[in-house]
Amino acid sequence: MCDAIANKRLPVSLMHALPQSSLDALEKGQSFGSVADTATQSFGDMEAIVALVGRPSLLIRNDKVVMQKMPELPRQTPGLILGVQKWIPSVGRIEFHNNDMAWGGTGWVAERWSKGALVVTNRHVARIVARRKADGSAVFMRSPSGARYGAAIDFGEEVASRKIDHSRTAELSRVQYLADDTSADVALLRIETADFELPEAFRLIEDERKLAEGELVALIGYPAYDSRNDADAQARYFRDIYEVKRFAPGKILQAPGDGILTYDCTSLGGNSGSPVIRLEDGKVAGLHFSGIYGKANSAVSARTIGALLKGQRPVSVALRGEGEEARDGSHPAAYFAGRAGLDTDFLKSHPDAQPVATPWPGIPAHWSAGLAEPADNPPEPNELRYTHFGIKYSAALKLPLITAVNLDGAASVRVKRGNDKWFADERIPRSVQLNAQNFRDAEIDRGHMVRREDPVWGSPGDAQQANDDTFHYTNAAAQHSRLNQDKSLWQGLENYILDNARTHGFQACVFTGPVLRDPEGDEEEIVIDGAIVPIEFWKVVATLDASDKTLHATAYVLSQGQLIRKLLEKRSRAEALEGFVLGAYRTFQVAISDLADATGYDFSAYVAADPLARNESGREALRSGEPLVLPLDKLADIIL
């Protein structure tokens, strides 16, 4: 077996399978080569080995510390360690769901109630899967695939575990507090319930002024192999066993009364969020968050943690971390001077050619009555004009009914996305626009109707202005996670349109809108936090055909099948409805004439330009009343 693993690093899941004799040998310092995880992830802040000798990181087995000689620490150290072992079960590994990182640090129980608990870790650990919202609350983010990230805490993961055991793993169901970048590196996560008896909550040191330089403390956590530290020092302390629970004793270097709490306990990436406990009584002196190799490790003070547990929050300042939302803003009408909005004569084969018109689709009468009337009196009725795009916005529904963007692939500019800050547009009353309070629900996202990148072309100034213009609430629609989790092909379609425009230098006009319920029907819109949450969206893409002389237009729907069912019902196709089942969200290509029939929008300027209506099977379907619907499993399925 030694030959088989020599000079290799095994993941901790395989290390669980090592025989007891091998584990015993490893604990006695007999190394079998490198047994750390080759896939160890990159942890947030620096973790540091401070003293190169005399500060062992002791293994834990069955919630007991595996002792070894500690000649550099006082004689009473082993006895003190035995006295605080009861707190070991209260420390766990912070693990992630739907994330490339399986885990990211350490956490510990700070409060406990009948079925739940409050867990403390670092902001930089929690921020791997969570983010702050504009109102200071925090939610779990989504992965690029749309799946919601999540977190759990595993109070096990010891070196002697014989198998993967989730019997001591509790879900972290909510982020109660996530510090901003100007506040102490702390996050509070809630366990609402667990299938086992949760461990005791740590106690905090009441008067940290009594902490003194040289006093014995320890870290309990999960050090992982960390290339930022000296490899020889890691081998000496860790014997190539990583990602399991350890107990690292040491001494206070500077007490918090004189500044920040520092100490010389041995740590590596993965110790982020470890409690710094006083060996005298097991009380928490601080929350470990970073260190400098060969100098000191640092902690958030017990005083700060205690204040946060009592609900006290630091005063927010105007600095934000990457990916953190900014507070809402507002732009006066004068800010939009010179915005041209949608150019309906945009499509041309060359600059001097006759344009091919792309008029605004007509909005159903029952919705057009509630359209907002911009104060700048646009030539196109009700159009809110922005750089390279326009919006017709329903004041009655607080929702864009249709957006229209000119896209110029030959002049496309890439503008890096910054921290999102959303604005009200004061050309219409702020009272008819959404704001951050309408997106408090963790399952609701602000969805750009005009995609940020689409209008970003032209001069650098125009491109930046177009980018910024997309961040107005008039361009936002509330999107539920049920839709978001399965819209990868919808996003792929948007990328396909933009990438082809960039590659081939062509122009396009893209119209987008929500599929709304008939106000006279028996279906009601979903409303969450005061915002209508559409369950389907449509898109029409207009370009020039291969001859560069005539219009070419295609239509798409992001749907579970409601729009298709509506068409079947409307056309009395009872036999087609028998056994009809709504499925997962998918992207469909549909005939523009069918989209008009289903939504009530007037797309008459585009029906004849639809390739679905021009081929023989399409014409036959239209003659027989069949909806022309093409489920798209890949972009190659699109009929152009």
pLDDT at 10 over 50: no
pLDDT, position 190 = 97
**Domain 2-309: assigned CATH number:** 2.40.10.120
pLDDT at 258 over 60: no
The residues, any chain, with a CB within 8 Å of residue 85's CB and separated by 6 or more, are: 63, 64, 65
pLDDT at 335 over 70: yes
pLDDT, position 269 = 79
| Each residue's pLDDT tens digit, 292-316 | 777 888 899 999 999 999 998 875 4
Check if 2-309 and 329-637 are the same fold. Answer: no
With cut-offs at 50, 70 and 90, classify the pLDDT of residue 97.
very high
pLDDT at 4 over 60: no
pLDDT at 23 over 70: no
pLDDT, position 37 = 29
pLDDT at 360 over 60: yes
If we measure between CA atoms, which residue out of 551, 462, 452 comes closest to residue 495?
A: 452
Of 534 and 473, which is predicted with more confidence? 473
Write phi, then psi, for 252 (nearest 5 degrees): -70, 130
pLDDT, position 498 = 65
HSE-up of residue 44 (Cα within 13 Å, Cβ side):
20
Q: What is the DSSP string of 372-415?
A: ---TT--SSTTEEEETTEEEEEETTTTEEEEEEEEEEGGGB---
Q: How far apart are CA 144 and CA 380, in angstroms?
A: 37
pLDDT, position 203 = 97
Three-state secondary structure of 231-286 = HHHHHHHHCCCCCCCEEEEEEEEECHHHCCEEECCCCCCCCCCCEEEECCCCCEEE
Give long-range contacts, CB 8 A cutoff, 24+ apart: 19-27.
20/160, 23/159, 23/160, 26/159, 26/239, 26/241, 27/59, 27/66, 27/68, 27/159, 27/239
pLDDT at 481 over 60: yes
If you average pLDDT over each of 333-347, 497-511, 551-565, which comes out highest? Answer: 333-347
pLDDT at 364 over 90: yes
Q: How far apart are CA 505 and CA 585, in angstroms?
A: 32
With cut-offs at 50, 70 and 90, classify the pLDDT of residue 441.
confident
pLDDT, position 252 = 94
The backbone region for 230, taken as left when phi is positive above 0, alpha when psi lies in -120 to 50, beta otherwise, is beta
With cut-offs at 50, 70 and 90, classify the pLDDT of residue 161.
low
With cut-offs at 50, 70 and 90, classify the pLDDT of residue 120.
very high
Q: Give the mean pLDDT of 267-281.
A: 92
pLDDT at 35 over 60: no
pTM, 2 dp: 0.59
Q: Give the mean pLDDT of 46-53.
A: 63
Per DSSP, the chain holds a count of helices (H) and strands (E) of 15, 31
pLDDT, position 512 = 95
H-helix or E-strand containing 65? strand 64-65
**Domain 329-637: assigned CATH number:** 3.40.570.10
With cut-offs at 50, 70 and 90, classify the pLDDT of residue 570.
low
With cut-offs at 50, 70 and 90, classify the pLDDT of residue 488.
low
The residues, any chain, with a CB within 8 Å of residue 599's CB and separated by 6 or more, are: 364, 513, 515, 516, 538, 563
Domain extents in the chain: 2-309, 329-637
Residue 518: both structure tokens together: 């008939």
E-state strands within 441-484:
444-448, 476-480
What is the distance of C-alpha 205 from the center of its chain?
35
Q: How far apart are CA 476 and CA 82, in angstroms?
A: 58
pLDDT at 407 over 80: yes
pLDDT at 634 over 90: no
Q: How far apart are CA 139 and CA 431, in angstroms?
A: 26
- Averaged confidence pLDDT in the chain: 81
Q: Any idea which residue has 């902001």 for tokens? A: 123
Q: Any idea which residue has 């237009």 for tokens? A: 553
If you average pLDDT over each of 160-174, 206-220, 469-483, 512-526, which comes out highest? Answer: 206-220
| Span of 267-281, 317-331, 428-442 with lowest mean pLDDT | 317-331
Of 92 and 507, which is predicted with more confidence? 92
pLDDT, position 16 = 32
Per-residue CA distances from 321 to 127, 144, 290 (Å): 10, 20, 18
Write phi, then psi, for 12 (nearest 5 degrees): -60, -30
If we measure between CA atoms, which residue out of 583, 578, 579 comes closest to residue 563?
A: 583
pLDDT, position 352 = 84
Q: Give the mean pLDDT of 172-198.
A: 91
